[in-house]
Chains A and B, each alone.
Chain A
Amino acid sequence: GIQVEQSPPDLILQEGANSTLRCNFSDSVNNLQWFHQNPWGQLINLFYIPSGTKQNGRLSATTVATERYSLLYISSSQTTDSGVYFCAVGGMDSSYKLIFGSGTRLLVRP
């Protein structure tokens, strides 16, 4: 099955800093989502982005499907950005099934 790797596994930032999170995947995908999991466990949809570039406020994402990677950019980070960021992909033959990466654990310090 598809392998999903996220980097870095852990990231500590000072408030106001920018960061880039990376997601590599091993095969072609029909579905790619970025989530933020808050301390209470809620998975919050950030982007549905199987290809292309999207922006939403301080967050943006780019997926280069031909090179099998996606990037999530966080600018001017805030303490409320802390949590775990997951990339999840669905393959061409089983796109029902989201395969999650191991996540990037982000801590933003005031």
Chain B
Amino acid sequence: DTEVTQTPKHLVMGMTNKKSLKCEQHMGHRAMYWYKQKAKKPPELMFVYSYEKLSINESVPSRFSPECPNSSLLNLHLHALQPEDSALYLCASSVWREEEQFFGPGTRLTVL
């Protein structure tokens, strides 16, 4: 099974709201990733977790707060977002570093 699941599929939030995105995989992968994709652009890496520890933060604003509670679950907590943060947020996982990454279906976020 090479499935990464993400919830919710769509999310609309105001600039003062707090919300969370959830990502789950049960493939035993030890690296998990958050990517952001704006319309008509390629995905861009935001965060990397390896063995449940944050290993890469691509200078992402603090209004995005990742969390990895266990080896199967990855969250992205959102607070005080801006309209320009509206995008498709993709989660991915891989067995380890240079191994193949598998992506979830994404959460399409709109910030009003």
Contact = CB atoms under 8 A, between A and B. Distances in A.
A45 B103 CA distance: 8
B42 A41 contact: no
Given A45-B100, A103-B42, A97 B56 contact: yes
A41 B2 CA distance: 17
Contact of B101 (A40, A98, A102, A103): A98
Given A96-B55, A96-B97, A98-B101, 20 more contacts: A30-B97, A31-B99, A31-B101, A35-B103, A40-B105, A41-B88, A41-B106, A41-B108, A42-B105, A43-B43, A43-B90, A45-B103, A48-B99, A48-B100, A86-B43, A90-B98, A96-B31, A96-B98, A98-B45, A100-B44
8 contacts: A43-B103, A45-B100, A50-B98, A96-B48, A96-B56, A97-B56, A98-B45, A100-B44
Interface of B: 2, 31, 33, 37, 41-45, 48, 50, 55-56, 58, 88, 90, 97-103, 105-106, 108
